[in-house]
Every structure is written in structure tokens, then in C-alpha cells.
Structure 1
Amino acid sequence: MLTIHAADEVRTAWDGEPLRDAAVAVTGERVTRVGPAEDVVRAFPGARVRRWPGVLGPGRLHDGPLPDAPSPRERVHAVLKLGAVAVLAEHVDAELRAAAVRGGVLVLPAARPAVLAEGGRADLAVLGSGGACLATVCAGRLVHRRR
């Protein structure tokens, strides 16, 4: 299913220039298009459109130990609630790795820049004005939404 995630501001990299009133089209687990919201919506008539407040950008890397929680699955979910879609291998044991993989969270050997690019994996984070994560999309799936 094709979903368009639109926001007042989209960043293809967190330290990059913002695109105003922009959108990201996602098909399956891949980014199909990034650009002005009007153009993206026009290019994909009939797509589900989600409009987010705040800033939409690439999913983050959680570069420390995963938050404490009763189970590995809940520890991984706690990371998703922070807007992270990747963790460093040095911070996960076999149980956490399995839970991360089941949830679509990347386990990386080293840090790498997070970017939104056409054809790339659809990992998105929406941050509110105070920096809190409002929503996380991991491999094209909405896995967290703040209520």
C-alpha cells in the first residue's frame, strides 16, 4: 500500500536544509518519492495521506544501551518510541537482537548517517516542536504514534 507522510517541514538528513510543506511517499518498505507535498500527492492519487505536525526526517540511530523494560520486545519498542529504527550491535545480546530483527529494527555494526532517499528503506521519525518523537515509521510500517 502506498502511504504519503506529509509535514510542514521534511529533512532528508537531520543536519540538512528543510523542505517546507513537503512529503515522503512510501511503498512497502521503500521511499518512493520525497518532495513538495502538492507534487507528491498529485503523483499518487488515491494514496493514504498522513499529515504530521512538526518535522519529519530519517529514523534515528539509538547509540547506547536500550532502555530497561520487562522484556526484549518492550525494550525494542521503547527505542522506537524515541524515533530510532536502528541500534548498535555492541548494545544488544542475542535476545535483543532477535526482538529487534522481528520488529524491523536494524542492528548496525557501527554508526552511519541517517538519510531519507528515494529507493531507500522507509525509516522515518516525526519530531514535535520540543523534540519529542510523535511518530516512528520503521521499514514502511507505522510502529509508534504518540497520542
Structure 2
Amino acid sequence: MLTLHAAPLLRTAPDAAPVAGAAVAVRADRILAVGPLAELTEAYAEARIRRWPGTLGPGLLHDGPLPVADTPRERVHALLRLGVTAVLAGHLTDPALRAAVERSDLLVLAAAAPPTLAPGGRADLAVLGADGACLVTVVAGRIAHRRA
């Protein structure tokens, strides 16, 4: 399914200046385009539009031990609630934890790399509220967390 994710502000990278009125076009697990919402709406007229409050940007990289919780699944869910879509392999020494991460489709990276939103890239997105809290996490094109 083709989806346009739009928010009042969009960042293409963690350190990029926010842009108003922009969106990300996503099909399956890939980003098709990033640009002004009006242009993407015209180019992808058949797309479903998801409008989120806050700032839309790339999913976050977690560079540290995973949060403590009773089960590996709960540890992964704690990351999703933060907007995390990638973790470093060095923090996944427990096979059960690594399996939970892989089932969730989080990226497992050998080394830290800054996340970006770019056409052709994997559709890993996070929407952060004004207070910095994660409102939505999209992993490989699917909503993995949405704050009620």
C-alpha cells in the first residue's frame, strides 16, 4: 500500500533543519519520495495520507544496552516507544534478545550510521512531539508503535 506520512515539520536527518509542509511517500518497506506534501499528494493521488502531530524524521539509532524489562519482547517494545528503528549488533549478545530484535524488523548495524530519510531508503520513521516524546514509530514501512 502506498502511504504519505505527513507532519507539521519534517527532518530528513537528526541534525537537519525542520521543513514545514513536507511528507514522505512510502510503499512497502521503502521510501519513494520526500518533499512538499502538495507535490507528493499530486504525484501519488492514490496514496493514503497519514497526518501526524509533531516532527516527522528518521527512526532513531539506539547506541547502548537495551532497556531492562522482564522479556526480550518487552525490551524491544521499550525501544519502539522511543522511536528507535536500529540498534548496534554489539549490544545483542543474548540470542533471545537478538531474535526478538530481528522479529521486530529493527535494523541491526555493525557500526553507528546517522539515519536519514531519502528515496530508495528503508522506511524507518519516527514522529516526535514538542516534548521530545515519541508519538509514532514506523519500522520498514509498518507502524510498530503509536502512542494512544
TM range (shorter): over 0.9
- CA-to-partner distance for each residue in 1:73-117, whole Å, 9 max, x for gaps? 111111011000011112112111111111100111111111000
2:79 maps to what in 1?
79
Q: 1 CA distance for matches of 2:28 and 2:19?
A: 23
Superposed, 1:1-147 pairs within 5 Å as 1-92=1-92, 93-147=94-148
- CA-to-partner distance for each residue in 1:33-82, whole Å, 9 max, x for gaps? 10001111111112111101110000000111111122111111110110
How many residues are matched?
Answer: 147
Q: 2 CA distance for matches of 1:72 and 1:33?
A: 34
CA RMSD of aligned residues (A): 0.8
* TM-score with structure 2 setting the length: 0.96
Q: Note the C-alpha offset of 1:22.
A: 0.6
Q: Note the C-alpha offset of 1:17.
A: 2.1
Aligned residue type for 1:28? A
Q: 2 CA distance for matches of 1:95 and 1:105?
A: 14
**For structure 1, which runs of at least 5 residues remain unmatched after alignment?**
none
Q: 2 CA distance for matches of 1:145 and 1:75?
A: 16
Q: Note the C-alpha offset of 1:11.
A: 0.7
Question: Which structure: greater strand fraction?
Answer: 1
Identity of aligned residues (%): 62
Q: 2 CA distance for matches of 1:99 and 1:138?
A: 14
Give the ranges of 4+ consecutive aligned residues of structure 1 lying more than 6 Å apart after TM superposition.
Answer: none
Q: 1:19·1:35 contact (CA, 8 Å) conserved in 2?
A: no
* TM-score with structure 1 setting the length: 0.97
